[in-house]
Structures are given as structure tokens and as C-alpha cells.
Amino acid sequence: MKQYQSWGRYFKYTHQVHKIRWPGRAETVLQTTNRLVLPFGMGRSYGDSCLNDGGLLLDTTPMNRFMAFNRKKGLLRCEAGVTLAEILKVIVPHHWFLTVTPGTKFVTVGGAIANDVHGKNHACAGTFGCHVTQFELLRSSGERLLCSPAKNPDWFRATIGGLGLTGLILWAEIKLKPIAGPYIEEDIIKFGNLEEFFDIAAESEANYEYTVAWLDSLSHGQSLGKGLFMRGNPAKPPYTHMPHRPSGLRVTVPLNAPNFALNRLTMRAFNLLYYEKELSKIKRRLVHYEPFFYPLDAVHQWNRIYGPRGFMQYQCVVPYNDGYQAIKTIVHKMATSGLNPFLNVFKTFGDYPSPGLMSFPQKGVTLAIDFPNQGRATLDLQTEIDAIVREAGGVSGYAAKDSRISAADFQHFFPQWAEFSRFVDPKFSSSFWRRVTTR
Amino acid sequence: MNRKFFINTALGFAAGLGAARLVKSRQDRQRRLSFRNTGPRKVLIIGATSAIAAETARFFAAAGDDLFLVGRNPQKTAAVTNDLQVRGANRVEYRLQDLADTAQHANLLAAAIEWLGGLDIVLIAHGTLGNQKACQAGYDLTEKELTTNFLSVVSLLTPLANHFEQQQRGAIAVISSVAGDRGRQSNYVYGAAKAGVSAFLQGLRNRLAKSGVAVITIKPGFVDTPMTAGIEKGRLFVGPEVVAKGIYQAIETGQDVVYLPWFWGGIMTVIKHIPESIFKRLSL
């Protein structure tokens, strides 16, 4: 049976759950319950923004019907529980793609809107919410609001990045992006330190739609911040060959690894292999979109490798002007912390504005780090990094990732929270929201 | 003896059967039904808004088939229709009908066959899981349950059987239930209706075997759908998409009786073999 946990598996909360297959069921539940409710999709946010301890979850995944697909205009309308994976199955054969996609396709449309997720093309396409043309919102009062940039625009703004707190999104319509085929022309470039990373990032900005970098977080000294830079563009036919889609065989991590499985030694081994598997400085190849956008989706339940203690993901964004020094300090702090940060990702955000009031991205460099949960020390390190981010004028406390930010820090990074809270439905709440709004 | 003991014993038994079943399913895949040609198949789905039926219909839609749906609720039936259209069905149409009104069945089937231009596959999936206690309190509700779950199915199958017998090909799939394998105090009205359906299908299969028509009895175990919303979910529950995949494969390969998921075959074998003298004292 489905586990109602978040992806980091750090919080051990209990919920009452109602599966929502039809909107009428949600109306009944909202009318009759005296608990606080929160919509729940695939549970892919890392922290507690998809959790509601002691409350009720409305599992929207059975509400997963497509409603309309305009193949000429590239407009897709579907219910909130449809996953991006299902959408891709339907649209890619007709030469359409998601304009913005996060690093996993196992998220629902409702969740993608509620977290206003971003991908590897933020500079040229912004966030997921930038391409939502309209949606319907069900409030606990029974009122249904059709929201778009023109209709109920304040509700539209509040609900994009609104963490599921403004009501239940019943369905949404999104604008797709035309593609010639399912392939990406990808470059993988090795960089030996942070300076090189910034050079490659600046050089790639103009000519590459998709950019992302993986960082070996355990190296320091001379090679502090070495890693692999991946950049790509949609490939145009004629193709040199047809890369196969490596999804025939899927692996699942069958059970929890012991807590000690991911230690400094195993991580070093992984990092070494991952970095050194690319022999040449730069490698160009044609790949299917699956391994390019969703490399981790090939391993189901990969979060189990962290063991029963779970893990936390930390993400921040730091503006360019001051960013270089701040990023260097953060990376150095991580590498020398002894807390085994793993799977670190660098991306750049452009100044493409999101309609979302509470949206996270702003122009700058963003860093996402996975920390195995090692208790107090892991929490303290993140608080220290927060201070550096704050100093540099950046933002931390991305709700889709965060597990620990204090209310004061959150309110500093998201001063618009007070304005947003006027749109929060009186019957909706989350563990995250209670954590960051109580002093 | 308690319920848990039974389920565990049955699961052990089921594991043994599972191995045998794997071998069999491989053999089944070899003998595809002869009606499978290259064009879209003509598929009628009755009770199309049920979670299991709607999920099964998606497999036909993805294969580019023609679908005629029958449902009762206008919004739900239209929503399922749109979903199947987007997912790739060649053509989809629906008709609203309260299936308890058996007098309308002949019209309904005629309309479906006319729109589809024939009929290759029918899936009958409508049903209700009525409250057993309420049924015990009076015959009215019991009669209603039996009509919906048994008589209306018979009413549909009677003309359908003649149609398929005449055309000498096709597949009739009906959702029965493991509840029909043995009466239990917790849901014997539903169980009796499903036992009736299973027995009817058994006879029909016997009759239509020589005409090359597949008659498929589907016996799902616990499925997490709106029908079972009021029941606490144990680890034997599966999602409707799991059962749907099994149904689609059973239709494609022309099975006879399928338990879904497969381990229910083992569980029910054990349950059916408990002597009545013991069974009557169990709280099941």
C-alpha cells in the first residue's frame, strides 16, 4: 500500500487519508471533516510541505483523468492527480513536451503547481507555473474558482507555489512546447573547480536551453567544487542514430538500506566513479529525454538508500553579483563538515518571472544538497549555510525541499508570506506551514 | 483460529501456485485470440465509470480501439470518455443508462453494436457493494442488490451470448468476485449475487467454447476503489490499475477464470476447502 511519507522520509507522521477519485468526494470530505486537510499527490517533496501531522490528507492520485488535448495548439487540460509521466506518454508521440519539468516525472500536475517547480531551463522558460493557463480551485466553503491570469488573478497568483494551502486544485490546463523528437543533444563537460564551473555556466547560457551541474561535494582544497557540467538542446532530425530508451528494465531499491550504508567511503567511491567515468574533458552525445531529464527515475525508491533515518535536502539560491564568494564558502563548509553531503546539484536561475506569489526561484545560482540525517549536526550546518545565504542576499527555505528552517528565517526569505496567508483556506494546513508561521 | 492465521496460511499456499501460474501465463501469451487483427477492436464497456473498468479501458484506448461506454452518472461518464479519447482511443462514445432497468437493455445493446459497427469485446463491470446489515434487515434492499449484481448481468448476457455465438468469435469478460466463491456472514448477499454470476458464466463458457468465443470470469480480491472506501485497508489491497492490467491481459489471451491479483487463487483454494463444520464457526 501507498506510504504517506515525504521523499526525505525524515518525518514520521500519521494521517487520516481520503482517496479522491471524483471532485464530489472532496466536497463531501471538506464539508464534513473537522480536521485540517492537505492535498497529497506523489509525496515527492522532501520535507514536510506535503505532510499534515494528525490531520487529513486528500490523496489526489486517483483523480487522474485527461480532459482535453489540443494537438494543434499544444494545450493540455487534465485533472490535478495526473502525473507528468502519464502526460509524457500521451504528448511526446504528438511532438509536444513539458515546457518546464522537474528532475522527476513522478509528480502530479497539482503538486507541480503547488510547489511551482523548476527544471534545467529556468533561464529561458521560468517555472512550471509560468505555463499554466488556467485551473479550477475548490475551496472548503464549496466555492469553485476558475483561475487564470485574467480571471481571479489574485487567486491564480496565490495558488501557484501556494503549497496546496489555498484549496484543492481540481484540474489545470498547461501550455506545452513543440519538439522535433524525443532526443536531446547533450554535452558533458568536466570541471576541476568552482571557477571553471562559473566559466562554463556563463559560456553556455546563450546557446543551451538546458543546463545543470553535478558537484563532487567531498573534494576540497585544489579541487574544491569539481564536477560534471551537463548541457543540452532538443535534437533536430535527421538523427545520427536512435538512442534507445533505457526504461525497459526498472530497478527498485527493495527495502531500507542500513543507516551506515551511505558513508564517507561509499560516497567517495561513487563520486570517483561518477566523475572518472567520463574520460575526456568534453563528451557530446545524443540521448533520449528520459535519462537526460529523469536520471534518478530509473531507480524506484532510491530514497531508501539513506536508511530508516531518512535524509534532508537543502536548496538555496544566491545572486550572481555576490554569489561566487558565497557559493565558495558554502561548498567549502559542506566539504569539510564531515556530514557526507551527497548528490549535489548546481543550476542557474534566470530572471524569468513566475506568476506565483510564493515562488522560490530568483536570478542567481542555485545549489541543492542531500544530507543523510545525522541529527543535530545536520540541522546546525544548514542553519549556518542559511546565514551565508542571507548575508549574500539569497533565498533559502524552498518549501518543496526544506525540513528545518526556522519561522523567523522563513519569514525573512519570504516576506510575502503574510500577504499569502490571506489566501490560505481556513480548513487547509500543512506541517510545514504550521512550522514556519508560528513564532 | 483467527482471520490472520488463515490469510497467512493461504498466502503460503498461494506462493506455490504462483510459480505454476507464471509458467502458464507464458503459455497463454503464445495463443492470442484469433479476433485480434490490425484494425481497431470494437469494445463495449458496461459500468465504465467504475474504477476498475475505467482503468481497464485505458489499455484499450492506448491500443487505439473503438470504445462504447455505458454509465449512469453524466459527469463521470463524460469525464471517462474524454480521458480515453486523449489517451489514444480511435473513437469513444457513451450512453447513460440505469442498468437496474432491464427493459432498456435490448435498446442499449442495439445502439452500442450499431455505433461500433459490430462487437469484438464486452466488459461488464457494474455493481454495488451494498450494506450487508441493511440487507438482513429487509428484503427490499436485498432484492435491489441481487437485481443490480446478478439479474441485470444475466439480462445483458442473454442477448450478448446469442450475438457472439452467431458471429463465432469475440470475448465476453465479466467482473465477478472472490466473494462469490464462498458465502461469509459479512457479505453473503453480494456473495450470492456474484456466485450466481460465476455459475452463469461457467455454463455460458461451456456453451460458447465450440463457437470460439472466450468467456472470462474475473474474480478480483480486495481492490482500493470508491466501492471499498468504507473498509479499512490491509496489505492485501491493491490499486484498480493492478487489477485492470490483469483483466486486459486475460481478455487478450482468452483466459477462463482469473483471480486478480493471482495470489487470490491460492487464498480461495484454501478457503473453499475448509470443512463447513469449522467454517460456520469462523468470524469471516
Query: Is the torsion defined by CA of A43, A46, A47, A49 positive or negative?
Result: negative
pLDDT of A263 > 90? The answer is: no
Specify which residues A286 forms β-bridges with: A185
B151/B143 Cα distance (integer angstroms) = 10
Q: Are strands A66-70 and A132-138 parallel, antiparallel or unpaired?
A: unpaired
Give residue B1's pLDDT. Answer: 45
Determine which of A92-106, A338-352, B23-37 has the lowest per-residue pLDDT on average: B23-37
> Which residue among A19, A65, A90 places its CB closest to the CB of B79?
A65
pLDDT of B57 > 70? The answer is: yes
Label residues A102-119 b or e (16+ Cβ within 10 Å = b): bbbbbbbbbbbbbbbbbb
Give the orientation angle of helix A320-335 with respect to helix A194-204, to 10 degrees: 140
Mean pLDDT of chain B: 90
CB contact under 8 A, A67 and B79: yes
- The identity of residue A251, as a single letter, is V
The whole-number average pLDDT for the span B158-178 is 97
Residue A1 distance to chain B (closest CA, Å): 6
- The identity of residue A14, as a single letter, is T
Burial class (CB in 10 A: 0-12, 13-18, 19+), A318: buried
What tens digit of pLDDT does each residue of B240-252 get?
A: 999 999 999 999 9
CB contact under 8 A, B87 and A19: no
SS (H, E, C) A345-384: EEEEECCCCCCCCCCCCCCEEEEEEEEECCCHHHHHHHHH
Place of cell 484454501: B270
Whole-number percent of chain A with pLDDT over 70 = 97
Could you tell me if B74 lies within 8 Å of chain A, comparing CB atoms? Answer: no
The whole-number average pLDDT for the span A62-81 is 98
* Predicted confidence band of residue A439 (pLDDT cuts 50, 70, 90): low
Contact by Cβ (8 Å): B161, B202:
no
Helix (H, G, I), strand (E, B) or coil at A94: helix
Residue A85 is placed in which grid cell? 509521466
On chain B, the residues whose CB falls within 8 A of the CB of A62 are: 51
**Nearest C-alpha neighbor of A299 from the set A243, A244, A257, A242:** A257
* Predicted confidence band of residue A228 (pLDDT cuts 50, 70, 90): very high
Give residue A255's pLDDT. Answer: 78
Helix (H, G, I), strand (E, B) or coil at A10: coil
CB contact under 8 A, B224 and A19: yes
Give the orientation angle of helix B3-30 with respect to helix B240-253, to 10 degrees: 40
pLDDT of A38 > 90? The answer is: yes
Residue of chain A whose alpha carbon sits nearest to that of B75: A22
Place of cell 450494506: B131
Q: Could you give the angle at the alpha carbon of A87 between the alpha carbons of A84 and A91, nearest 5°?
A: 140
Residues 6+ apart with CB under 8 A from B263: B11, B14, B15, B17, B18, B221
> Which residue among B86, B229, B237 places its CB closest to the CB of A68?
B86
Give residue A129's pLDDT. Answer: 98
Give residue B12's pLDDT. Answer: 63
Give residue B32's pLDDT. Answer: 43
pLDDT of B24 > 80? The answer is: no
**Nearest C-alpha neighbor of A188 from the set A98, A330, A270, A291:** A291
Give residue B28's pLDDT. Answer: 46
Mean pLDDT of chain A: 92
Domains, chain A, ordered by start: 183-404 (3.40.462)
The whole-number average pLDDT for the span A13-21 is 95
CB contact under 8 A, B79 and A69: no
| Residues belonging to chain A | 439
Contact by Cβ (8 Å): B216, B255:
yes
Mutation test of the interface with chain A: which of B52, B77, B83, B242, choosing the one with the most A Cβ atoms within 10 A? B83
A392/A362 Cα distance (integer angstroms) = 13
Contact by Cβ (8 Å): A56, A15:
yes
The whole-number average pLDDT for the span B40-48 is 98
Mutation test of the interface with chain A: which of B81, B85, B86, B87, choosing the one with the most A Cβ atoms within 10 A? B86
Q: What are the CA-CA distances from residue B184 to residues A163, A417, B175, B205, B267 (Å)?
A: 46, 56, 19, 26, 15
More confident residue, B4 or A78: A78
The whole-number average pLDDT for the span A148-165 is 98
Determine which of A182-196, A334-348, B62-76, B203-217 has the lowest per-residue pLDDT on average: A334-348
| Runs of H (alpha helix) within chain B | 3-30, 51-62, 74-86, 105-116, 132-137, 139-146, 152-167, 188-208, 240-253, 263-272, 276-279
pLDDT of A11 > 80? The answer is: yes
Could you tell me if A66 lies within 8 Å of chain B, comparing CB atoms? Answer: yes
Q: What are the CA-CA distances from residue B29 to residues B251, B253, B278 (Å)?
A: 11, 6, 40
pLDDT of A225 > 90? The answer is: no
Could you tell me if A144 lies within 8 Å of chain B, comparing CB atoms? Answer: no
Residue A419 is placed in which grid cell? 500577504
Query: Is the torsion defined by CA of B251, B252, B257, B260 positive or negative?
Result: negative
**Nearest C-alpha neighbor of A114 from the set A126, A128, A125, A124:** A128
**Nearest C-alpha neighbor of B260 from the set B125, B104, B110:** B125
Domains, chain B, ordered by start: 3-31+41-279 (3.40.50.720)
The whole-number average pLDDT for the span A130-158 is 98
**Nearest C-alpha neighbor of B53 from the set B98, B17, B88, B83:** B83
Helix (H) or strand (E) holding A272: helix A264-276
Could you tell me if B89 lies within 8 Å of chain A, comparing CB atoms? Answer: no
Give residue A300's pLDDT. Answer: 87
> Which residue among A19, A62, A66 places its CB closest to the CB of B87?
A66
Count the neighbouring beta carbons within 10 Å of the beta carbon of residue A249.
6
pLDDT of B282 > 60? The answer is: yes
The whole-number average pLDDT for the span B276-283 is 92
pLDDT of A262 > 80? The answer is: no
Give residue A238's pLDDT. Answer: 87
Could you tell me if B241 lies within 8 Å of chain A, comparing CB atoms? Answer: no
Give residue A216's pLDDT. Answer: 86
Could you tell me if B232 lies within 8 Å of chain A, comparing CB atoms? Answer: no
What tens digit of pLDDT does each residue of A265-281 get?
A: 887 787 878 787 766 78
3-state helix, strand, coil in chain A (%, to 5): 30, 25, 45
> Which residue among A1, A19, A66 places its CB closest to the CB of B83?
A66
* Predicted confidence band of residue B18 (pLDDT cuts 50, 70, 90): low
pLDDT of A92 > 70? The answer is: yes
Within 348-407 of A, beta carbons closer than 8 Å to B belong to none
Residue of chain B whose alpha carbon sits nearest to that of A88: B87
pLDDT of B29 > 80? The answer is: no
Give residue B26's pLDDT. Answer: 46
* Predicted confidence band of residue B31 (pLDDT cuts 50, 70, 90): very low
Count the neighbouring beta carbons within 10 Å of the beta carbon of residue A205.
14
Specify which residues A58 forms β-bridges with: A18, A39
Q: What are the CA-CA distances from residue A183 to residues A93, A219, A287, A298 (Å)?
A: 12, 33, 6, 17
Q: Could you give the angle at the alpha carbon of A165 between the alpha carbons of A159 and A167, nearest 5°?
A: 75
Residue of chain A whose alpha carbon sits nearest to that of B236: A1
Give residue A42's pLDDT. Answer: 97
Give residue B130's pLDDT. Answer: 87
Give residue B5's pLDDT. Answer: 59
Give residue A260's pLDDT. Answer: 78
What tens digit of pLDDT does each residue of B114-157 get?
A: 999 999 999 999 999 989 999 999 999 999 999 999 999 999 99
Residues 6+ apart with CB under 8 A from A206: none
B79/B58 Cα distance (integer angstroms) = 13
What tens digit of pLDDT does each residue of B92-102 get?
A: 999 999 999 99
A296/A349 Cα distance (integer angstroms) = 22
Within 54-73 of B, beta carbons closer than 8 Å to A belong to 54
Q: What are the CA-CA distances from residue A66 to residues A19, A69, B87 (Å)?
A: 18, 8, 8
The distance between the two most distant Cα atoms of chain B, rounded to a whole number of Å, is 55
Helix (H, G, I), strand (E, B) or coil at B238: strand
Determine which of A239-248, A288-297, B85-94, B98-107 has the lowest per-residue pLDDT on average: A239-248
Helix (H, G, I), strand (E, B) or coil at B107: helix
Specify which residues A344 forms β-bridges with: A215
* Predicted confidence band of residue B55 (pLDDT cuts 50, 70, 90): very high
CB contact under 8 A, A19 and B229: yes
Q: How far, rounded to the nearest angstrom, does the alpha carbon of residue A50 sit from its chain's CA centroid?
A: 13
Give residue B161's pLDDT. Answer: 98
* Predicted confidence band of residue B38 (pLDDT cuts 50, 70, 90): low
